[in-house]
Amino acid sequence: DYELCEEWGHLYPVPREDLINFHREHLLHLLEMGDMEKALQLLQRIEDPGICLAISEQSLDQHPNLAASHFLADYLTAHFYANLTTARRNEIQALYIGSKVLLTLPELSRVNYFHLSSRPLLMLEQLLMNMKVDWVAVAVHTLHHLLAGQEIGFTVDDIDSLLSKYAEKALNFPFALKEKRS
């Protein structure tokens, strides 16, 4: 049905908004099916960069699954970096990095942290609070690698500060002094 609609759109004039809506639904369908190759081909077939940008951004704003969010954030960063505002660029890069960190977690646990995919620093803090130290180690390694030379609203120093804060709390033992009895 999508292919037929796409052919129809080449033969007859279709309003811009309808074209965007159609391609967005088609893209989301392909991404939900896990067919990243066809999704990329669809985006490459769209001749108007403005329409392609709108489709990609609207699809990302629909909060698709983890793999789809990662794909869209990567595509937007790679192809439309200059067309995005600084705030939107930071938001998309944070989502890309957050989804990359999520992909390092065990598959069954990803659903518990998916809502934090656009806030990787908060995700790291949640992992620390849940005492997932092994996962934190992998996440920190991934974040250090991904943050090299990028500006997304937080830095490696912010990660180090967060780790120091929780390390300090882990070593803080409240105790009461007992009196010596004679």
Indicate the DSSP class of residue 46.
Answer: -
Q: What is the pTM of this model?
A: 0.76
Return the closest-CA partner of residue 88 out of 53, 64, 123.
Answer: 53
- Which of 84, 117, 136 marks a domain boundary? 84
User: Is residue 60 located within the same domain as residue 117?
Assistant: no
- Which of 69, 84, 99 marks a domain boundary? 84
Q: How confident is the model at residue 142 (pLDDT cuts 50, 70, 90)?
A: confident
**Is the pLDDT confidence value at 182 over 60?**
no
For the chain, what is the domain count? 2
pLDDT tens for each residue of 25-41:
999 999 999 889 999 99
User: Is residue 33 located within the same domain as residue 76?
Assistant: yes
Q: Are 59 and 36 in contact (CB under 8 A)?
A: no
User: Is residue 6 located within the same domain as residue 73?
Assistant: yes
Say what the pLDDT of residue 160 is. 85
Residue 179 belongs to some domain of the structure: no
Return the closest-CA partner of residue 101 out of 87, 89, 113, 92.
Answer: 113
User: Is residue 60 located within the same domain as residue 130?
Assistant: no
User: Is residue 23 located within the same domain as residue 79?
Assistant: yes
Percent of the chain surpassing pLDDT 90:
21
